[in-house]
Amino acid sequence: MKKITGCILSFVLIVQMGNNLTCASNIEPYNFDYKNSDVTITRTNGNSKGVFTINNCNASKLYNFKFNLNPGESLITARDYLGEDFDTGEVFLIDAYNKIKQIIDKPWAIDSSGNEVPTYFNVSENILTQTVDHSCNSSFPITADPNAWQVTVCIASIAGLLASLVVPAAKIIQIKKAIKIVGGLSVFAQMLIGLIVGTHSLTTIAIAFGPIVVQAFTTILGIDGIMKNCAG
């Protein structure tokens, strides 16, 4: 029951993110296998969003997207940024000072029957590669959607805390665990905003995700700088 409730709450928060984050404008397909796959890049007011469709089991399992980075910027997996034990599946675009500028959400891939297909990210310099581990037993077509977002001030504040000495190391580990449990840095930030404005409660979060997440939020709610940046 806890897992189901957590998934529902996370889904609601992800939907809400559309009102708080702006699509990144610098993602484009790179060496794409158009023979057995299709890709659509939608651009509006300088923003872009990529959706790709895998048509059959002869298609590649690797799908590359290129980011046109500014000097000093780089792509890094959450595994490398947060630590292997706290991997959320996300990818971050960071600047020369190790500050997160964009977040690429944890990848997903769904077949035509609505089943999840295993998928994950890797990075190499400015290339983001999404692996979709499909097979001829999958129901085609398979749809996937790598989403890149500009970070909000709230997300940047939380990310900055993870590299600071404001709270003890044990608390930082607790916060990283909580970020992984809820499904990523973006979702964690949206939950924090919900707590601040009163649309969510620690009781609801405890039921959905457990005490580690509640303890992490309790720590962050006591930090004035983050509260100010996440209060809207």
Tens digit of each residue's pLDDT (9 = 90 or more) over 57-115:
999 999 888 888 889 999 999 999 999 999 999 999 999 999 998 898 899 999 999 99
Whole-angstrom Cα distance, residue 102 to residue 151?
5
Tell me the mean pLDDT in the region 4-30: 43
pLDDT at site 92: 93
Question: SS3 string of 1-65?
Answer: CHHHHHHHHHHHHHHHHCCCCEECCCEEEECCCCCCEEEEEEEECCEEEEEEEECCCCCCCEEEE
Residue 16, pLDDT above cutoff 80: no
Residue 27, pLDDT above cutoff 90: no
pLDDT band per the 50, 70, 90 thresholds, residue 30 = confident
pLDDT at site 23: 45
Tens digit of each residue's pLDDT (9 = 90 or more) over 206-226:
999 999 999 999 999 999 999
Residue with tokens 């089991």: 57
Tens digit of each residue's pLDDT (9 = 90 or more) over 135-175:
999 999 999 987 777 788 999 999 999 988 888 999 999 99
Whole-angstrom Cα distance, residue 155 to residue 152?
5
pLDDT at site 220: 95
Is residue 41 within 8 Å of 49, Cβ to Cβ? yes
pLDDT band per the 50, 70, 90 thresholds, residue 189 = very high
pLDDT at site 45: 55
Count of CB atoms situated within 10 Å of the CB of 184: 20
Residues in the chain: 232
Lowest mean pLDDT among 22-31, 129-138, 162-171: 22-31
Residue 20, pLDDT above cutoff 80: no
CA distances from 227 to 135, 153, 222 (A): 46, 11, 8
Whole-angstrom Cα distance, residue 90 to residue 159?
13
Is residue 187 within 8 Å of 209, Cβ to Cβ? no
Q: Which value, in Å, is the radius of gyration of the alpha carbons in the chain?
A: 18
pLDDT at site 7: 32
Residue 69 is classified by DSSP as: P
Residue 13, pLDDT above cutoff 70: no
Rounded (10°) CA dihedral 186, 189, 194, 200: 80
Q: Regarding predicted confidence, which is higher, 65 or 19?
A: 65
